[in-house]
């Protein structure tokens, strides 16, 4: 448990640095300036195939003013029938960051699919948040804390 606290403190420090240096999106969804979610990766590919696949501009849908890309017309149709099923957890922000109380842009290739949901994770030279999450071996506990934090974080502008 000491390791997780140390990592959480690291995330908090990283939050302060990122707020000053990176000017995080001030929204509940991790989107770019064009309102494109998941850096253009297909939410259906994550959940149905367990793959990170870039979508194509010709197969896109809008849900709650956020644009999602898909790899095929079939994927787009699946999403359009039930968009809530395919939305990323925590607005597409790093699940471990949300657990630690902060919003970080994840690497779209770092994700976990579990219990019919997918979770994205930060990855850089200093930190592999997906591995930290897995190392804890307590998915349900981490999700519970992240869900509690997300209720507050999704309303913040950091």
pLDDT tens-digit profile of 9-22? 555 545 433 443 34
Distance CA 75, CA 42 (A): 8
Q: What is the pLDDT of residues 134-156, one digit of tens each?
A: 999 999 999 999 999 999 998 87
pLDDT tens for each residue of 76-133: 999 999 999 999 999 999 999 999 999 999 999 999 999 999 999 999 888 999 999 9
**Full DSSP string of 63-87:** ETTEEEEESSHHHHHHHHH-HHHHP
Contact (CB, 8 A) for 155 and 28: yes
pTM given for the model: 0.82
């Amino acid at each position: 448990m000491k390791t997780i606290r140390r990592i959480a403190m690291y995330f908090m420090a990283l939050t302060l640095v990122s707020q000053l240096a990176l000017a995080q999106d001030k929204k509940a969804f991790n989107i770019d300036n064009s309102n494109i979610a998941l850096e253009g990766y297909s939410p259906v590919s994550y959940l149905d195939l367990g793959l990170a696949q870039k979508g194509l501009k010709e197969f896109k849908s809008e849900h709650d003013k956020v644009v999602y890309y898909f790899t095929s017309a079939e994927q787009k149709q699946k999403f359009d029938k039930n968009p809530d099923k395919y939305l990323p957890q925590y607005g597409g922000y790093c699940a471990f960051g949300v657990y630690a109380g902060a919003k970080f842009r994840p690497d779209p290739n770092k994700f976990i699919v579990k219990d019919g949901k997918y979770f994205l994770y930060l990855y850089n030279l200093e930190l592999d948040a997906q591995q930290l999450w897995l190392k804890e071996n307590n998915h349900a506990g981490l999700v519970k804390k992240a869900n509690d934090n997300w209720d507050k974080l999704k309303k913040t502008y950091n």
